[in-house]
Amino acid sequence: MEGTKAQSNGKVRIPMFVLLVMLIILAFCLTAIILAINMFESNPTIAGYLLLGGVLALAAATYALMQVRRRIASLRIEAPPVTTTIECKKCGFKSVRPFQRGDYVFKEAEKCEKCSNPMTVTAIFKEIKEKDKEHHSF
């Protein structure tokens, strides 16, 4: 489908700057946790605080990273692929292919693979995957 050229490849790219900041925070968290483990025997209270702070900061940084990812993902609109159904009126051969610019319903399309008669576009539609459909019990 030509339309897919303008669409992204489905991956979420986080800006480098945000990623760098997050990595620095994560490095600090890990240092605090390692420090806490090292001083656990000599000073358990301080080690406890360091561990608590490290784990909380780690959770907060991970959450922030997930939020940035979610926000970037929400900016993109996923367009399901559009398919064109072509049929041969003579032998009934049916074929489905991705939509091409210029296709329209009842357009005379390429020749039939079986009987070489011209085929006709009979339907153009997008199919939404089962998991993307809304489910409700009412």
Q: φ, ψ for residue 37 (rounded to 5)?
A: -65, -40
Q: φ, ψ for residue 119 (rounded to 5)?
A: -95, 165
Name which of 109, 78, 104 is nearest 94 in CA terms: 109
By CB under 8 A, residue 138 contacts another protein: yes
Q: Which is nearer to another protein, 16 or 77 (CB)?
A: 77
Q: Are 112 and 120 in contact (CB under 8 A)?
A: no
- Which positions from 102 to 131 touch another protein by CB under 8 A, shown as an x/- string? xxxxxx---------------xxxxxx---
Q: Which is nearer to another protein, 23 or 117 (CB)?
A: 117
> Closest separation between CB of residue 81 and another protein, Å?
9
Question: HSE-up of 20 (CA within 13 Å, CB side)?
Answer: 3
Q: Which of residues 50-79 bind another protein (CB under 8 A)?
A: 50, 71, 74-75, 77, 79
Q: Which is nearer to another protein, 89 or 111 (CB)?
A: 89
Q: Is the dihedral of CA 101, 107, 110, 114 positive or negative?
A: positive
Q: Is the dihedral of CA 94, 99, 97, 131 positive or negative?
A: negative
Footprint of another protein on this chain (CB under 8 A)? 2-3, 6, 39, 42-43, 45-46, 49-50, 71, 74-75, 77, 79, 82, 99, 101-107, 123-128, 136, 138
